[in-house]
Amino acid sequence: MHTAEFNRILAPPKQSFFLMGPRGSGKSTWLRSTYGDAHVIDLLSEETYQNLLAYPALFADQLRAVKSGSWVVIDEIQRLPQLLNEVHRLIEEKRLRFVLCGSSARKLRRAGVNLLAGRALNRAMHPFLPEELGGRFELDSALQYGLLPVVFDSEAKAEALSAYAQFYLKQEIQAEALVKNLPGFARFLPVAALFHGQTVNVSTIARDAGVARTTVSGYLEILEETLLCFRLPAYEAKLRVRERKLPKWYWCDPGLARSMKRVSGPVVPEERGPLFEGLVAQVIRAYRDYRGICSDMYYWAPAGGALTEVDFLLEQRGRFVAIEAKSGGNFTESWCRGLRAASELKGLKRRLIVYPRGPVLRTAEGIEVLPFKEFCALLASDELWRS
């Protein structure tokens, strides 16, 4: 079964929108199946890109013949962000509707370009979710190879992951001239991958990668803006103790984190915790973007209280759901420590522990223990905020 045959849960908007997501997340496949009648301008095509770069007026010439109210898909919009001025005009004058697709927000954010001032919504495409894969989802495989469609669809997943890392360096970084020192960036990637699920120590990364501390900060921004990584901020509230301010760092896919570390083969025990936590983080993030299950997500950890950290704190209109991800096979009372410490948080409605597989449990104090499959089903439903 090819990835095109899976039903993605991203709902297509009725007005123009930006669609951003990492390379290989299935954006183009989804666009083909959803907007099959749209006029397509693919800037990944070198011929198209070079023609429009040399003669920008060709863009308007192409769309002059497109019927008013029609959909136009522009793939890899970040390669020619100056086209957005013309997109703006065509939305206003001709009522064309645009899907502006890309794998990097960096050029769009930094070029001072016209971002259409609310005339286009923002949407994201993520790696596969268990809901989208149905019976094809396997947790152990997801931790080892990840859920990027470009890898999931491959008969040689390990090789596909390795090729993805090389393609990223060549196409996203070198071709777009995002860094001046490509060897330094290549040394940085496996070091940064070691911090999956941790607060980032910029000084340590700089030392181990052999680059300047300020350079590492820029590299981290590149990973975030090319949508491979995301930061999870610490929740700041006036509790009895002072919260840490450093964000935690996650890669968008377990297989990608392993590939960047240049690790292959079965997942070893010391990897399993961060990989499982990262998968839970990514699933929550995807449902936030697709279904609006929360307005914000954080982690919570009092200063000096490493043993009382709560992995995820979801907020919705002043209410909170606290979530712990545990990769062990059997529930133990020690798993509840962080959730107990956060129990005084005002507006806390629910406390959940997620673990790979096993029975659904509920402690005497109301902490719910859910296997990963049931947790994903909860996020897919409308029941998360109903304790």
Q: How many beta carbons lie within 10 A of that of residue 84, not counting itself?
A: 21
DSSP for 218-266, written as a single string: HHHHHHHHTTSEEEEPBP----SSPBP-PPEEEES-HHHHHHHTT--SS
Q: Residue 37: is it exposed, middle or buried by C-beta count within 10 angstroms (0-12/13-18/19+)? A: exposed
Question: What b/e readout covers 261-272, taking b as 16+ CB neighbours within 10 angstroms?
Answer: beeeeebeeebb
Cα(378)–Cα(372) distance, integer angstroms: 10
Cα–Cα distance list, 212 to 1, 54, 359 (Å): 46, 37, 49
Do 358 and 330 form a contact (C-beta atoms < 8 A)? Answer: yes
Residues 6+ away with beta carbon under 8 Å from 11: 290
| Phi and psi at residue 232, to the nearest 5° | -110, 110
- The per-residue pLDDT for 241 is 44
Domain at 3-124, CATH from 3.40.30.10, 3.40.640.10, 3.40.190.10, 3.40.50.300: 3.40.50.300
Cα(147)–Cα(71) distance, integer angstroms: 29
Do 260 and 189 form a contact (C-beta atoms < 8 A)? Answer: yes
Lookup result for tokens 């597989």: 357
Cα(253)–Cα(152) distance, integer angstroms: 12
- Tokens (6 digits) for 323: 């979530």
Specify which residues 350 forms β-bridges with: 321
- Tokens (6 digits) for 8: 């993605």
Do 87 and 74 form a contact (C-beta atoms < 8 A)? Answer: yes
Lookup result for tokens 């300047």: 212
Name the residue ranges covered by the structural domains of the chain.
3-124
- The per-residue pLDDT for 200 is 86
What is the greatest pairwise CA distance in the chain? 69
Cα(308)–Cα(103) distance, integer angstroms: 37
pLDDT per residue, tens digit, the chain (387 aa), is 455 568 899 999 999 999 999 989 999 999 999 999 999 999 989 999 999 999 999 999 999 989 999 999 999 998 898 898 889 889 989 999 999 998 887 777 665 555 666 678 889 999 999 999 999 999 999 999 999 999 998 999 999 999 988 888 777 777 666 777 888 888 999 999 999 999 988 999 999 989 899 999 989 998 998 889 999 999 976 544 444 578 999 999 999 999 999 898 899 999 999 999 999 999 999 999 999 999 999 998 775 555 678 999 999 999 999 999 999 999 999 999 999 988 888 999 999 999 999 999 999 999 999 999 999 999 999 899 986
Residue type for 152, please?
A: F
Q: Residue 341: is it exposed, middle or buried by C-beta count within 10 angstroms (0-12/13-18/19+)? A: buried
| Phi and psi at residue 342, to the nearest 5° | -90, 5
- Tokens (6 digits) for 371: 């296997």
Cα–Cα distance list, 190 to 194, 196, 205, 251, 267 (Å): 7, 11, 10, 12, 17
- Tokens (6 digits) for 52: 């429009």
Of 256, 248, 243, which is closest to residue 220 (Cα–Cα)? 248
Three-class SS of 84-104:
HHHHHHHHHHHCCEEEEEECC
Residues 6+ away with beta carbon under 8 Å from 280: 311, 312, 323, 325, 354, 372, 375
Residue type for 246, please?
A: L
- The per-residue pLDDT for 239 is 47
- The per-residue pLDDT for 382 is 85
